[in-house]
C-alpha cells in the first residue's frame, strides 16, 4: 500500500509539475554527449538513438516488474511519454534536454522504490569518493562504452566517421577486462582497493582524451 501511494504521487509529479525543474543532479549521459558538441547542436539522429535506448530500458523494466500493476502502469506511461518526445516538434535541444531529464528522473524515483540503485547521475568523480564500489565502476565503464558506440554509429551514418577513433572503446574494454580479471584472481582487499584507485585514474585519463582527439571538428 505504501508503495502504491508513493507511485500515485509520482504520477502526479509527472502530470502536474512537468514544467518544473528538478533538484536532482544532471544526467551523466546528457552531460557527456553535450560535451562532445561544444560548438554545435547534438545531431537529431543521436537524440533519437538516446530516447530509443531509454525506451528499450523501460520495456525491460516493464517485463521485470510485470507482477506489480502500479509499476507496470508507470513504465507503460513512461514509454508513451518517451514516444511522444520522439514525435514532438523540437523547437530547441534545450527543451528536449529538460523534458528528457524530467522523464528519466521520475524513472530513477520509481526504480528506487523497486530496489534499483540510481546509476544515472553517477560520474567518475563519484567513484573516486568510494574506490571500493567495484560493481559501480563496471557499470559506469559499460555506460560510457555504450554512449561512445552510440555516438560513433550516429557520426558514421552522417558521413563523419573521421571524427571518431574507436580505439578508445577498445582501450576502455581492455581496461575493464584487466581489472575484472585482477579481482577474480586476487582476494586481498587492500591490494584490490589499491588496484581500484589505479583503475579509476586510468579510466579518467582515457575519458579525458576523448574531447580533444576523438571528436575533433576537422579532418
pLDDT score for 218:
40
pLDDT score for 40:
84
What cell numbers appear for 102 in the block?
A: 524530467
Q: Give the model confidence (pLDDT) of 56-106 as tens digits.
A: 999 999 999 888 888 889 999 999 999 999 998 777 899 999 999 999 999
- In this prediction the pTM is 0.82
Residue that is written with C-alpha cell 514509454 in the block: 79
What is the band of 12 on the pLDDT scale with cuts at 50, 70, 90?
very low
What cell numbers appear for 42 in the block?
A: 547534438
What is the band of 6 on the pLDDT scale with cuts at 50, 70, 90?
low
Chain centroid to Cα 128, Å, comes to 18
More confident residue, 200 or 219: 200
The full set of domain ranges for the chain reads 2-10+26-113, 124-214
20 has pLDDT over 70: no
What cell numbers appear for 164 in the block?
A: 571518431
What value does the mean pLDDT take over residues 161-186? 84
Helical axes 69-87 vs 44-64, angle rounded to 10°: 170
Amino acid at each position: 500500500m505504501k508503495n502504491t501511494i508513493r507511485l500515485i504521487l509520482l504520477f502526479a509529479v509527472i502530470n502536474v509539475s512537468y514544467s518544473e525543474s528538478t533538484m536532482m543532479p544532471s544526467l551523466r549521459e546528457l552531460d557527456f554527449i553535450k560535451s562532445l558538441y561544444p560548438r554545435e547542436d547534438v545531431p537529431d539522429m543521436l537524440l533519437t538513438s538516446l530516447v530509443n535506448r531509454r525506451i528499450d530500458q523501460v520495456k525491460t523494466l516493464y517485463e521485470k516488474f510485470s507482477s506489480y500493476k502500479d509499476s507496470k502502469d508507470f513504465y507503460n506511461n513512461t514509454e508513451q511519454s518517451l514516444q511522444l518526445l520522439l514525435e514532438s516538434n523540437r523547437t530547441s535541444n534545450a527543451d528536449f534536454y529538460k523534458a528528457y531529464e524530467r522523464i528519466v528522473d521520475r524513472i530513477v524515483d520509481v526504480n528506487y522504490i523497486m530496489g534499483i540503485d540510481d546509476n544515472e547521475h553517477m560520474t567518475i568523480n563519484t567513484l573516486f569518493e568510494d574506490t571500493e564500489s567495484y560493481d559501480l565502476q563496471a557499470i559506469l565503464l559499460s555506460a560510457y562504452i555504450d554512449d561512445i558506440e552510440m555516438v560513433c554509429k550516429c557520426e558514421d551514418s552522417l558521413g563523419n566517421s573521421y571524427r571518431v577513433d574507436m580505439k578508445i572503446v577498445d582501450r576502455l574494454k581492455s581496461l575493464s577486462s584487466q581489472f575484472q580479471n585482477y579481482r577474480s584472481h586476487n582476494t586481498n582487499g587492500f591490494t584490490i582497493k589499491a588496484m581500484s584507485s589505479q583503475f579509476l585514474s586510468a579510466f579518467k585519463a582515457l575519458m579525458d582524451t576523448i574531447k580533444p582527439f576523438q571528436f575533433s571538428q576537422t579532418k
